[in-house]
Amino acid sequence: MNIQQMRNIDTYAGGVACLILEAVEGIKRLFFTKAAKKPGTIKKILITKYLGMGSILLATAMLRALRLRFPDSKIVFLTFDSNARFVKQIHLIDEVVSIKTSSFSVFAIDLLNALIKIRQEKFDVVFDLEFFARFSTIVSYLSRTKVRVGYYLPKLWRGKLLTHQVHFNPHKHITEVFAAQLKTLDIDVTDLSLIPPTVKEDKIQGVNTLLKEKGIGESEKIVAVNVNATDLSMERRWPKESFIDLITYITKNKEEAKIVLVGSKGEAGYVKSVYDALPEESRGRVIDLSGALDIEEFIALLKQSTLFITNDSGPLHIAASLGTLTVSFFGPESPLLYGPLGNHNTFFYRGIYCSPCLNVYNAKTAMCKGDNQCMKEIKPTYVIDTLVKKGIL
């Protein structure tokens, strides 16, 4: 299933499911159930976040605070299968439960299996980190966990299936938004720095070997470039022509640098179209590794890179957490919420009238339908001039 299909199912089927479960919960509250209280002893914690690899990483400040308060508790993370391997690289998590989404039938079966598993665990508390999905609230409710924490969003009716609703503040960085859920357990998060994903030494060595085979010497600096954005919002892409101008400038003016294009297997075609459009004299200094690296190898590459240039996407936050110098482009999303943390990051954002347009109330759907003027107005000449003045290029 693609993102739009998931959104449609969540809107219509999710609304009906919430209505039915709200009626059931109302009867339970009337005859059987007392008001939920904070659990006295917390031995098992469930975290749910299904979409957004970058958002998952931005939740690590919250996860660290949980681990510090409950060092002996079991923390389980429930997510879609596309993020499962990445989540396993976060050492704060004890176990990952994933749900496949390749088709509706596969999704339904995997969801049922996941629900059976998490019910058997008998969690003390579940934290739902999704913003605009009814699905996540339904799963939290069906987990039979007595304390269910999530966000209060009146424009997205989900019934009273959560026991503790937290205000979603669109004027705070998303790390703070996630951390706010812990106040239900009287935990104040003071350290909002991210926990970088782990990467094994053999993966680092494997990437080094691959780069050497591709002609990158030890003295050369790696500039990794991500021209992609996931189908959560393709409008986050900086125009292909702009990337081509920036890459061409780097290859002509930074003799010590080699460009490495990155992306998933599904993004390889688009990345190749960027590579093919480069001037012939530039292509000799550019290597296309899209579709060639697994998530651990990708993390290893970012760790080895001198600079990472990217659209607003999950890889940006991975690089920032690793301490790699980053340059990023924002438009549909607000850097106020999703900007990279740390002083080693530079982002470009024009802030035109319609920007940012993605928010929790419109299911992060851009009304421009691909005509992303907010990104087109970030001119490559301005980017190059700024980066030269900063000494980055």
Calculate what percentage of the chain has a pLDDT beyond 90.
73
Mean local confidence (pLDDT), 272-284: 95
DSSP secondary structure letter of residue 79: E
Nearest Cα neighbor of 159 from 140, 177, 173, 174 is 140
**pLDDT digits over 344-393, tens only?**
999 999 999 999 988 777 777 888 888 999 999 999 999 999 999 999 99
DSSP structure string for 120-156: HHT-SEEEE--SS-HHHHHHHHHTT-SEEEEEE-TTS
Q: Determine the pLDDT at residue 219.
A: 83
- Other Cβ atoms within 10 Å of 257 Cβ, number: 17
Average the pLDDT over 166-192 and give the result: 94
The pLDDT confidence band at residue 34, using thresholds 50, 70 and 90, is: low
Q: Is the pLDDT of residue 22 over 80?
A: no
DSSP 59: T
Mean pLDDT, residues 57-69 taken together: 96
Task: Provide the residue ranges of all domains of the chain, joining segments of one domain with +.
Answer: 3-185, 201-389
pLDDT class for 250, splitting at 50, 70, 90? very high
What would the mean pLDDT of 285-305 be, rounded to a whole number? Answer: 95
* pLDDT of 260: 97
The contacts of residue 315 (CB under 8 Å, 6+ apart) are 53, 54, 226, 262, 298, 302, 308
**What CA–CA distance (Å, rounded) separates 146 from 39?**
8
pLDDT of residue 37: 58
User: What was the pLDDT predicted at 15?
Assistant: 72
Question: For domain 201-389, is the CATH number 3.40.50.2000?
Answer: yes
CA dihedral 80, 324, 392, 254 (to 10 degrees): -90
Residue 392, classified by CB atoms within 10 Å of its CB into exposed (0-12), middle (13-18) or buried (19+), is middle
Residue 338 has pLDDT above 80, yes or no: yes
Q: What is the sign of the dihedral through the CA atoms of 141, 143, 145 and 146?
A: positive
User: What's the pLDDT at 38?
Assistant: 63
Q: Average pLDDT, stretch 44-48?
A: 97
Q: pLDDT confidence of 59, banded at 50, 70, 90?
A: very high
What DSSP line would sit under 185-202, residue for residue?
GT---------PPP--HH
Size (the chain), residues: 393
Candidate from 217-221, 246-250, 310-314 with smallest mean pLDDT = 217-221
State the DSSP code for 237: P
* Per-residue pLDDT at 6: 72
- pLDDT at residue 170, rounded to an integer: 86
Which of 30 and 282 is assigned the larger pLDDT? 282
CA-based nearest residue to 295, from 94, 58, 83: 83
Q: State the average pLDDT over residues 170-180.
A: 94
Instruction: Judge whether 305 and 296 are in contact, CB under 8 Å.
Output: no
Q: Taking 90 as the threshold, does the pLDDT of residue 230 lie above it? A: no
Contacts of 185 (CB under 8 A, 6+ apart): 38, 42, 69, 125
Which pLDDT belongs to residue 387?
Answer: 97
Cα–Cα distances (Å) from 320 to 12, 232, 305, 314, in that order, read 37, 21, 11, 10
Q: Which CATH architecture has domain 3-185?
A: 3-Layer(aba) Sandwich (3.40)
| Cis ω before 356 (30° cut-off from 0) | yes
Residue tagged 């919002």 (tokens)? 233
Mean pLDDT score, 143-154: 89
Confidence at residue 63, expressed as pLDDT on a 0 to 100 scale: 97
Whether residue 280 has pLDDT greater than 90 = yes
Residue 12: its pLDDT value, please?
A: 64
Quick check: do 3-185 and 201-389 share a fold?
yes
At residue 41, the pLDDT reads 81
Name the band, by pLDDT with cuts 50, 70 and 90, for residue 24.
confident
What sign results for the dihedral spanned by CA atoms 370, 372, 378, 379? positive
Q: How far does the chain reach from its first CA to its final CA, in angstroms?
A: 41
Average pLDDT over residues 45-54: 94
- 343 pLDDT band (50/70/90 cuts)? confident
Distance CA 60, CA 194 (A): 6
Sheet holding 307-311, edge to edge: 286-288, 257-261, 221-226, 307-311, 325-330, 345-349
Residue whose token pair is 């106040």: 183
Give me the chain's average pLDDT, please. 90
Helix, strand, coil shares, percent, the chain, to 5? 45, 15, 40
State the DSSP string of 287-307. Answer: EE-TTT--HHHHHHHHHH-SE
What is the mean predicted confidence (pLDDT) over 101-122? 93
Task: Please report the pLDDT score of residue 27 as a whole number.
Answer: 73
Contact indicator for 283, 257 with CB cutoff of 8 Å: no
Here the contacts of 211-218 (C-beta below 8 Å, separation 24 or greater) are: 211/260, 211/287, 211/301, 211/304, 214/287, 214/289, 215/258, 215/287, 216/258, 216/260, 216/287
